[in-house]
Copies of this chain bind each other. A is one copy, B any other.
Amino acid sequence: MKIITAEWLFDGEKFLKNKAVLFEEKILAVDTPDTLKKRYSNAEFIDMGQNSTIMPGFINPHVHLEFGANKTHLSYGNFMTWLNSVIQKRDELIESCKAGCYKREIDEMLASGITTFGAVSSYGKELRACLAAPQRVIFFNEAIGSQPAAVDALYADFLQRLNQSREAANDKFIPAIAIHSPYSVHPILIKKILQNIENEPLSAHFMESPVEKEWLEKADGPFKEFFENFLNQTKPLTTAKEFLKHLDGYKALLTHAVWADKDELNLIADAGHTIIHCPRSNRLLGCGRLRLEKLNSTKISWLLGTDGLSSNTSLNLWDEMRSALMMHYEMDLESLALDLLKVVTSKAANALNLPIGEIKEGNWADIIIVTLPDIPESSEQLPLQLILHTTNVKQLYISGEKYA
């Protein structure tokens, strides 16, 4: 049993003073340090000292570990150019990201305070590394494929991977399902997959790029040539709205949604889906800026993800938050900073329906401690100062076990 205290506690919603956390595998109590010390006098007492903050471990809900070998190989700035570079380099990159590569990515996330991540898996190659990860992992088995003739084979492969991860399920390994995107998955495959869901988290890329919009809405644009050449396909499989209708009744995590229009956002809001925002990935692939202010006004819940190293330079959510502050330069700095800390903790846990993300009794003891370089003058500025000054955490616990 441990009691940990620091100058501040961020419980996932707000910053509190004079608080300590009693925990084993789970959080047993949150109270003043004095009360907990008196009541649990044989617990180990850890005081992280001034300028430190106890927070829930971060949740990175969208990462492609398979592309961890990429540094400078892919072409950035334009979605089609990037996609073509991915297709060209895909085998080489995936082949060169082996166990050591996955471990580097997992360790980088760990050092920065990510205690839960959602790995989107195309082939299941990173399964072993994810099972060995100290973190809680949501393992998104991804289905992709638009050829009608291949649906059965694709589904069988998907199911085999899904079942493999279902067998491995435990408190720290959560099998989940990903549908690649509206443009790349045949509606029949989507239906087969959805029929198979047993309450698993469900994710999909959605309206990431302007070319995706042009293709889905007008069967035109650079994707037309791409689909004709690669897949002998002349029309999109579905519209964005039809795709959303498939997902009705599920609470899905839709990644990107930069190009979702007003109607689509309303459908997303009505269905209670959540959007995963990946600002750096969007910028590097020439996809522009997700209108966060529109999501806020439509009351759509959004999270923050790093995406994979195929479209980013780090898997660090602090880096991502700093980039988000710059990209959304018109949004109020102080309140955006607080929102960012909420979306990587309580809001992400809520969307994933996991007992983490808040420092409260009964949740898993996924706890990080970060320390500022100096004393902030006001508590209103704390979220911002934490984001500006943090890259890695001081201490980190997952299910109460210390990893950093």
Which of A's residues lie within 8 Å of B, judged by CB? Answer: 71-78, 85, 89, 279-280, 282-284, 286, 288-289, 313, 322-323, 325-327, 329-330, 332-334, 372-378, 381, 384-385, 388-389
Contacts and interface: CB of A to CB of B under 8 A. Distances in A.
28 contacts: A71-B372, A71-B374, A71-B389, A72-B377, A73-B374, A73-B376, A73-B377, A74-B377, A75-B381, A76-B333, A76-B334, A76-B381, A76-B388, A85-B377, A89-B377, A280-B326, A282-B329, A284-B388, A286-B333, A288-B330, A289-B329, A289-B330, A313-B388, A313-B389, A323-B323, A323-B326, A326-B327, A327-B327
Contacts of A389: 71-72, 313
Contacts of A385: 72
Contacts of A85: 377
A327 B77 CA distance: 15
B375 A334 contact: no
A73 B85 CA distance: 45
A403 B378 CA distance: 40
Contacts of A372: 71-72
A333 B283 contact: yes
A375 B70 CA distance: 10
A326 B374 contact: no
Given A284-B333, A326-B327, 10 more contacts: A71-B373, A73-B377, A74-B377, A77-B334, A283-B325, A284-B388, A289-B329, A313-B388, A313-B389, A323-B323
